[in-house]
């Protein structure tokens, strides 16, 4: 089969790791007789540098015409500490999510037995952890009205959610729970926020259609504690945009392997697949960044394109690299392999 893949490598280590995912997909294409046509486009700080716009129209158009989007990372420190910057790389990412209707961000968090020693948490705490986080991605305070008073004295951000926005992602999360351990935890702050109360009410209503799924609720502050105290209690977590940002990043480090975590953003027809880690400016160009998360994002993409055998092949190759210790310094500080070497191994193995 033939697929058009939009390649948005972005900033920092984005291009280096995405290159390994491309290498991997090329190997898959050879073995399984597919054609992946990769079309590059700009997003983030590099797009600002070249065009003044963190998300040029061409990029949106390319993505819309593609079968899937493979994303690297965005962000550059020169924008982070400049609160008055008018254009920021992140705007590109947010606009992309909105333009492509990617309202559902899925992050699997798993404690790989082989990496468990790398975790800051004790082995007995994380052992068996296998969570799927469903984060709403195109609503909430991220996309509310922003305002700063003329005298610069008062700033505000609006947060709103509609029943419709909650409903569409809730169904996806309940279905995921049905395919897993049949437990769904809604994370909110319903004791304080009106939007959270609407989440709780709507999700409670929808739960009636999924009687085999057990629904429970956790305030976000408590969830932040439980994630450390007892992460294996969670199956599927459903939450709004900002809480999802915080909780999923927190969850990502407990397995000891943030360099291995991939994510999918779906909603409309075209899905976007990306590593959880950011642009990691300090490592840029050094050939030391872990490409496995990007490679596993490619596997998630294949699964979304219904190429399950192919996705399995990538995941098996990743397991093998872990088993043999052919990994970058974040996992294997004593005998680190370079980014490209890890990519080569994965491609060869396939």
Ligand X SMILES: CC(C)[C@H](C(=O)O)[C@@H](O)C(=O)O
Q: Using CB distances below 5 to 8 A depending on partner kind, what does residue 333 bind out of its own copies, ligand X, none? A: none
Position 306 contacts its own copies (CB under 8 A): no
Give the one residue of 37, 78, 120, 325 binding its own copies; rule: CB under 8 A: 120
Kindly list the residues in this chain that would bind ligand X in the complex (CB under 6 A): 75, 90, 93, 191-192, 221, 245
Give the one residue of 222, 268, 269, 282 binding its own copies; rule: CB under 8 A: 222
Task: Report which residue's Cβ sits closest to ligand X.
Answer: 90
Query: Please, which residue, 130 or 249, has the CB nearer to its own copies?
Result: 249
* SS3 at position 212: coil
User: What torsion, rounded to 10 degrees, do the Cα atoms 247, 180, 200, 248 define?
Assistant: 10
Known catalytic membership, residue 245: yes
Query: Please, which residue, 244 or 291, has the CB nearer to its own copies?
Result: 244
Helix (H) or strand (E) holding 265: strand 262-266
* Angle at CA of residue 38, ends 33 and 40, nearest 5°: 175
- Token digits for 156? 């505000």
Known catalytic membership, residue 337: no
Cα atoms in the 13 Å half-sphere on the side-chain side of 47:
27
Position 214 contacts its own copies (CB under 8 A): no
* Angle at CA of residue 208, ends 203 and 212, nearest 5°: 105
Query: Please, which residue, 27 or 133, has the CB nearer to ligand X?
Result: 133
Residues 6+ apart with CB under 8 A from 139: 103, 160, 161, 162, 165, 240, 241
Position 207 contacts its own copies (CB under 8 A): no
Are 97 and 242 contacting, i.e. CB atoms less than 8 angstroms apart?
no
Known catalytic membership, residue 221: yes
Query: Please, which residue, 31 or 87, has the CB nearer to ligand X?
Result: 87
Position 163 contacts its own copies (CB under 8 A): yes
- Site size for its own copies (CB under 8 A): 67
Report the distance separating Cα 110 and Cα 196, nearest Å: 27
Q: Using CB distances below 5 to 8 A depending on partner kind, what does residue 201 bind out of its own copies, ligand X, none? A: its own copies
Give the one residue of 6, 17, 46, 258 binding its own copies; rule: CB under 8 A: 258
Cβ-in-10-Å burial (0-12, 13-18, 19+) of 335 comes to exposed
CB 289, min distance to its own copies, A: 17
Known catalytic membership, residue 61: no
Report the distance separating Cα 49 and Cα 93, nearest Å: 15
- Catalytically annotated residue among 183, 245, 341, 344: 245
- Catalytically annotated residue among 189, 235, 330, 337: 189
Put residue 297 in one of left, alpha, beta given phi > 0 → left and psi -120 to 50 → alpha. alpha
Are 126 and 111 contacting, i.e. CB atoms less than 8 angstroms apart?
yes
CB 77, min distance to its own copies, A: 10
Known catalytic membership, residue 249: yes
CB 201, min distance to its own copies, A: 4
CB 224, min distance to ligand X, A: 11
Is 97 labelled as part of a ligand binding site? yes
CB 275, min distance to ligand X, A: 10
Is 249 labelled as part of a ligand binding site? yes
Query: Please, which residue, 5 or 198, has the CB nearer to its own copies?
Result: 198
Q: Residue with structure tokens 């945009």?
A: 241
Q: Which of residues 46-105 bind its own copies (CB under 8 A)?
A: 75, 79-81, 83-84, 88, 90, 94
Report the distance separating Cα 257 and Cα 304, nearest Å: 23
The DSSP output letter for 284 is T
Are 39 and 7 contacting, i.e. CB atoms less than 8 angstroms apart?
yes
Give the one residue of 146, 175, 308, 309 binding its own copies; rule: CB under 8 A: 146
Position 190 contacts its own copies (CB under 8 A): yes
Report the Cα 81 to chain-centroid distance in Å: 24
The DSSP output letter for 337 is P
DSSP collapsed to 3 states, 30-55: HHHCCEEEEEECCCCHHHHHHHCCCC
Give the residue ranges of the annotated binding site for Mg(2+). 221, 245, 249
Positions marked active-site:
142, 189, 221, 245, 249
Give the residue ranges of the annotated binding site. 97, 107, 135, 221, 245, 249
């Amino acid at each position: 089969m033939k697929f058009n893949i939009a390649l948005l490598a972005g900033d920092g280590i984005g291009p280096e790791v995405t290159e390994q995912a491309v290498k991997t997909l090329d190997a898959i294409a050879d073995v399984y007789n597919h054609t992946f046509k990769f079309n590059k486009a700009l997003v983030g700080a590099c797009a600002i540098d070249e065009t003044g716009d963190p998300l040029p129209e061409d990029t949106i158009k390319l993505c819309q015409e593609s079968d899937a989007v493979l994303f690297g990372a965005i962000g550059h420190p020169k924008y982070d500490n400049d609160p008055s910057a008018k254009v920021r790389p992140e705007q590109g990412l947010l606009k992309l999510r909105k333009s492509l209707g990617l309202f559902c961000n899925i992050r699997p968090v798993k404690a790989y037995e082989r990496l468990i020693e790398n975790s800051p948490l004790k082995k007995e705490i994380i052992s068996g952890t296998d969570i799927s986080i469903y984060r709403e991605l195109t609503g909430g305070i991220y996309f509310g009205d922003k305002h700063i008073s003329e005298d610069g004295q008062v700033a505000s951000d609006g947060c709103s959610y509609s029943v419709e926005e909650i409903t569409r992602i809730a169904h996806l999360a309940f279905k995921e729970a049905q395919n897993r351990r049949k437990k769904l935890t809604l994370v909110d702050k319903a004791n304080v926020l009106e939007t959270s109360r609407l989440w709780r009410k709507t999700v409670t209503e929808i739960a009636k259609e999924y009687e085999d799924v057990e629904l429970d609720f956790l305030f976000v502050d408590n969830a932040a504690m439980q994630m450390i105290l007892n992460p294996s209690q969670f199956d599927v977590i459903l939450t709004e945009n900002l809480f999802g940002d915080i909780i999923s990043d927190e969850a990502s480090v407990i397995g000891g392997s943030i360099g291995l975590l991939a994510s999918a953003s779906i909603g409309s027809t075209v899905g976007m697949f990306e590593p959880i880690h950011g642009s990691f400016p300090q490592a840029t160009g050094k050939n030391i960044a872990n490409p496995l998360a990007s490679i596993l994002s490619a596997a998630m993409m294949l699964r979304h394109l219904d190429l399950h055998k192919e996705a399995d092949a990538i995941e098996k190759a990743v397991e093998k690299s872990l088993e043999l210790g052919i990994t970058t310094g974040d996992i294997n500080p004593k005998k680190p392999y370079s980014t490209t070497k890890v990519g080569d191994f994965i491609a060869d193995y396939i």
